[in-house]
Chain A
Amino acid sequence: MTREPDRSSRQPERRRVLALLGGLGTLGLLLPWLRTSAPARPVQREISLHEADFYRPHDLAG
């Protein structure tokens, strides 16, 4: 009959690694959601007619 080697001494270390991975995973899931649910930013650029370049290249269809 073989006995499993005693790994109990390494368990706290593993627990910390797993907790860290879990925490990072949760953050990874939550961050995009937090970003999109943040209130809309104010207008970054209100373009006046004087500074507007109507000929600047764009990739809008239509």
Chain B
Amino acid sequence: MTAVTCELCPRGCVIPEGAAGDCRIRVNLGGRLRATTYGRPSAVHIDPMEKKPLYHFLPGAPVFSIATAGCNLHCLNCQNWQLSQRGGEEMEEIYRLDPPELVRAAREEGCRSIAYTYSDPIVFYEYVYDTAELAHAQRLANCFITAAYINREPLRKLCGVIDAVNADLKAFDDGFYRRVNGATLKPVLDALVTMREEGVWLEVTNLLIPTLNDDPAMIRRLARWVHDELGPGTPLHFSRFQPLYRMRNLPPTPVETLDLARREAKDVGMEHVYVGNVLGHEGNSTYCPRDGTLLIGRVGFMITHYALTPDGRCPSCNERIPGVWRSAELFGEQP
């Protein structure tokens, strides 16, 4: 009987034959570790890029979004628990979409990008990697929506085929990670720094949960860390919590808390701070950090106003706004 040790994420699961890792989908069959959901997603949708949320990456583009079962975190407030907290053998719906079919389907639907999202795509790493390579070959961008609980070496390799990441930084507190997410903070911080070093476009989301991670001092520490380690131009999204899954005892985040978080982050020098899950909030939109011009107006996931120049500058003061605004920036002009 041969046990195997998974090296993908910091859990380092040692998995006996016939069992799965903590993520439920990496299974030891006959002494070999199998990615059991490879090519078998359970969620396939076309979403706007703003839903990921990626606000500085190909705005308004439809993105072919997929996920398989499984996750290496177990957040008490998980919104997608029916997908993420189950193994492949427990899913009611399965698509057969091996990487070539997936890339073909995305192109046929008119999507110029693919998002690996909903659950944590780290756990279906092989599927992501093979698809992303094929997608790049056909000039499709790859977006990775993750909690960034991954080891450095696999991440470095993955960064070679990923163009944009929205990473969930759940709190700037290791105790919170242990209690609420079943994980730890340090590997997440390390992963974010690695992504920045590898040159992947990076946006960070922090979901504010009343009483658990909404302390202004903690928000300030988080924003300062993002400012110092990832850069002041990194878009930072403060997102509103909704009571779900095993955390229905807390109310939705008050808008005042989100406003306060936004002010704290701006005070430490963050240039693009957004408020998510609050329809019509001014924090949904992008403003020039130099002169305050409204550059991209958003209501929900819809773009209502677009004033950026084609090369991503403020039309009033010519300030360059960090981001990837056209796919030509990734692949060069179409031949």
Contact = CB atoms under 8 A, between A and B. Distances in A.
Chains A and B in contact, CB within 8 Å:
yes
Interface stretch (A6-14, A15-23, A40-48): A40-48
A33 interface: no
A54 B83 contact: no
A47 B93 CA distance: 7
Contacts of A46: 93-96
B80 A43 contact: no
Interface SS, B side? mixed
A1 interface: no
B80 A55 contact: no
Contacts of A40: 89-90
A61 B105 contact: no
B89 A58 contact: no
B55 interface: no
Contacts of A41: 92
A43 B41 CA distance: 13
Nearest to B93: A45
Contacts of B4: none
A44 B89 CA distance: 11
Contacts of B109: 54
Contacts of A60: 43, 45, 67, 79-80, 83, 118
Contacts of A55: 45-46
Contacts of B291: none
Interface in B172-197: none
Interface string B282-307: 00000000000000000000000000
B72 interface: no
A43 B91 contact: yes
B314 interface: no
B64 interface: yes
Interface string A27-48: 0000000000000110111111
B288 to A, nearest CB: 28
Contact of A54 (B46, B90, B92): B46
Interface string B43-57: 111100001100000
Is the interface on chain A under 10, 10 to 19, 20 to 34, or 35 or more residues?
Answer: 10 to 19
A52 B118 contact: no
A56 B105 CA distance: 16
B159 interface: no
A62 B117 contact: yes
Given A47-B94, A47-B95, A49-B105, A62 B89 contact: no
Interface in B51-102: 51-52, 64-65, 67, 79-80, 83, 89-97, 101
A54 B83 CA distance: 17
Given A40-B89, A45-B92, A47-B93, A61 B45 contact: no
Given A49-B105, A60-B80, A61-B80, A43 B44 contact: no
B240 to A, nearest CB: 11
A46 B87 CA distance: 16
B105 A62 contact: no
A10 to B, nearest CB: 45
A41 B216 CA distance: 47
A28 B183 CA distance: 35
Interface of A: 40-41, 43-49, 52, 54-56, 58-62
28 contacts: A40-B89, A40-B90, A41-B92, A43-B92, A43-B94, A44-B93, A45-B92, A45-B93, A46-B93, A46-B96, A47-B44, A47-B94, A47-B95, A48-B96, A54-B44, A54-B46, A54-B64, A54-B109, A55-B46, A56-B45, A60-B43, A60-B45, A60-B67, A60-B79, A60-B80, A60-B83, A62-B52, A62-B65
